[in-house]
Structure 1
Amino acid sequence: MYFDRYDYLGNSFEQTYRCYPTSFIDKPQLEGGDKIIMPPSALDRLASLHIEYPMLFELRNAATKRSSHCGVLEFIAEEGMVYMPYWMMQNLLLQEGDIVQIKNVTLPKGSYVKLQPHTKDFLDISNPKAILETTLRNYSCLTTGDSIMVPYNNKKYYIDIVETKPTSAISIIETDCEVDFAPPLDYKEPERSQPSGLSNKAQGQVEDAPAEPVADEQKYNPFSGSARRLDGKPSTYAPNVPNLEKCSQPEAAGSKSSTTSTSQSSASRKTSGKLVFGSNAGHATKEAQRVPTKEEPPKKEDPKFEAFTGKKYSLKG
């Protein structure tokens, strides 16, 4: 079916075509970008319009209401037909020969894009950043929700466009765009390893069990070593080591009894009717109890030393 009618809506271009993959015209290299091939009649109409360059288009599948964006490489397709990369047909859920609507649009330059690889194999590439920069040079625009294809080393890597700024569709021609990566779709966080000897139930029982009280440390006991002989033979002598705790108890009892006896003697002194002061109390009590039998003669006191009381001498003799 050939569509020779254009929809003239002011300065916009809008037309419907039947879509086919680029492999139909022997151009498989176009699979690594977002460029499509349109018929010459489309170029004639676009040249008569005042549109901005580079030319960007919106692709829409009316049956599934899915849309994407792309650029154009050449105008050499048969009339009524358009050729596009197969990954774009997959995004739009299009089959060979299905109808696609194409409309020219103007997109803002992108400032941010977030990408998410399908598989973690993409991270195993020696320099994925350089590969991605080289591949995106073949792209004119990016649309949120699309899955682009990055060919490398005879392998195809699919990457989802998770987010774009400032809008959901951006132009990446001659612009500095910040790129961020999300974890791959098949990435799984490593699980924490549990002890091999304990199951989950046993481990829970060990955690719930109350902690046992720590045993008291062994007290130091002096002279508790074993005896040794000088000739190296085993000794049969076993010393009887007294327990210091038990030995300290009689001392404490003895000190207590001495204290009580002292208090009793002091109480007896208080009942004798005399006042006793300080440490001379016992001496004063003994002197009071001593009865003199004879009067002792008074002792002569030694003369005290007086200075300058000697005799005078003259030098004449």
Structure 2
Amino acid sequence: MFFEGYGYHGTSFEQTYRCYPASFIDKPQLESGDKIIMPPSALDRLASLHIDYPMLFELRNAAAERVSHCGVLEFIAEEGMIYMPYWMMENMLLQEGDTVRVKNVTLPKGTYVKLQPHTKDFLDISNPKAILETTLRNFSCLTTGDSIMVAYNNKKYYIDIIESKPSNAISIIETDCEVDFAPPLDYKEPERLAPSVPTSKAPAPVEEEAVPEPKFNPFTGVGRRLDGKSLKHQSPPVSSPTSKDKQPEAANGRPSAASTSQTTRQPQGKLVFGSTTSHGQKEPQKEPLKDAKQEQAPKKEEPKFQAFTGKKYSLKG
């Protein structure tokens, strides 16, 4: 039988073995934990050293400078060989037949561990905490920097150990350990929606036609004599200088709709003084706006209130 690096150092056990996956000896249960299978000679030496149970070991891959920790399940391997979970070999960058250094260690009981799943679908399991607790019962210890494997429902989930207390390697056998989760490696923060609608989806602004607002025009309308006589000459309505630009008239001479709506809201009138022979002035009377053509034509319309109707009086007395 070939032994490589076999030796004992003082009161500790330290041995170099060639490692192989658990599938070589038909031990599939090894894949669900962190325990290895060692040769019977290792058990004899450990017993003579009075190593306390549970037995914990440090695994070191000197070529890749990777260190992990594990427990032991059985001592039935061939001399010079050990069998270990395949996920552990991947974690330590070991190939079949590579050498690994095994040393017995004593680890403190863990009080805190922080885990980070590789994929967020692990959190989609109905009860990931219960699955994790069940899986960790097959583990003896945890090491910061390792990636453990959790098998559930014919699927494998890998979880990184990113922090552990009180040391980088802890024992989790018969201990109450607080477990915390970091966001999965493939987790992405949801994008925050902008308060405004994106430009690409925003409706194009509708350009409203500028409608000129009607302006107040003083002294508009028709004139009426205070003595009741009809005017011989109809003077054109006085309008503000800006009325031509702001209130266009229709072709038939009637005021536009904007002007009509304005007069409907606020009746406008024209101040008319007495006859040229009068010396006094009367209070101006406002009359509704009338059409110039209707003023000249014979009027057959409903009577409206008119000031100073009836008998005519001379303002001279």
TM-score w.r.t. the length of structure 2 is 0.62
Residues 1:91 and 1:240: Cα distance change in structure 2 (over 3 Å): closer
1:110 counterpart residue number: 110
Q: Deviations over 1:150-208 (max 9, x none)?
A: 000000000000000000000000000000000000000011234555159x9xxxxxx
RMSD: 2.3
Corresponding letter in the other structure for 1:133:
E
2:27 counterpart residue number: 27
SS of equivalent residue, structure 1 residue 59? strand
Residues 1:242 and 1:58: Cα distance change in structure 2 (over 3 Å): same
Q: Deviations over 1:50-80 (max 9, x none)?
A: 2221000000001111110000000000111
Matches within 5 A, 1:4-83: 6-83=6-83
Identical-pair percentage: 81
Distance 2:67 2:264 in 1: 100
Distance 1:37 1:15 in 2: 14
Kept in 2: contact 1:17–1:81 (CA 8 A): yes
SS of equivalent residue, structure 1 residue 191? coil
Shift of 1:8: 2.1
1:302 counterpart residue number: none
Matches within 5 A, 1:240-255: 241=267
SS of equivalent residue, structure 1 residue 63? coil
Shift of 1:239: 7.5
1:160 counterpart residue number: 160
Distance 1:3 1:53 in 2: 26
Corresponding letter in the other structure for 2:109:
K
Q: Deviations over 1:217-246 (max 9, x none)?
A: xxxxxxxxxxxxxxxxxxxx9575579xxx
Larger radius of gyration: 1
Distance 2:11 2:57 in 1: 14
Distance 2:266 2:66 in 1: 100
1:187 counterpart residue number: 187
Residues 1:90 and 1:239: Cα distance change in structure 2 (over 3 Å): closer
Distance 1:238 1:186 in 2: 71
1:134 counterpart residue number: 134
1:262 counterpart residue number: none
Shift of 1:29: 1.6
Distance 1:73 1:123 in 2: 30
Distance 2:29 2:73 in 1: 12
Q: Which runs of 5+ in 2 are unaligned?
A: 203-262, 270-317
Distance 1:11 1:56 in 2: 15
1:283 counterpart residue number: none
1:101 counterpart residue number: 101
Kept in 2: contact 1:11–1:51 (CA 8 A): no
Instruction: Name the count of aligned residue pairs.
Output: 209
Distance 2:265 2:130 in 1: 85
SS of equivalent residue, structure 1 residue 175? coil
Residues 1:179 and 1:187: Cα distance change in structure 2 (over 3 Å): same
Distance 2:133 2:268 in 1: 88
Residues 1:158 and 1:99: Cα distance change in structure 2 (over 3 Å): same
Shift of 1:4: 6.3
Residues 1:41 and 1:191: Cα distance change in structure 2 (over 3 Å): same
Q: Which protein has the bigger helix share?
A: 1
Residues 1:176 and 1:4: Cα distance change in structure 2 (over 3 Å): same
Residues 1:42 and 1:122: Cα distance change in structure 2 (over 3 Å): same
TM-score w.r.t. the length of structure 1 is 0.62
Matches within 5 A, 1:219-238: 238=264
Distance 1:115 1:163 in 2: 7
Corresponding letter in the other structure for 2:78:
E
Corresponding letter in the other structure for 1:198:
T
Matches within 5 A, 1:205-220: none
SS of equivalent residue, structure 1 residue 164? strand
1:3 counterpart residue number: 3
SS of equivalent residue, structure 2 residue 183? coil
Kept in 2: contact 1:19–1:100 (CA 8 A): yes
Shift of 1:7: 2.3
SS of equivalent residue, structure 1 residue 123? helix
Distance 1:44 1:179 in 2: 37
Kept in 2: contact 1:11–1:50 (CA 8 A): no
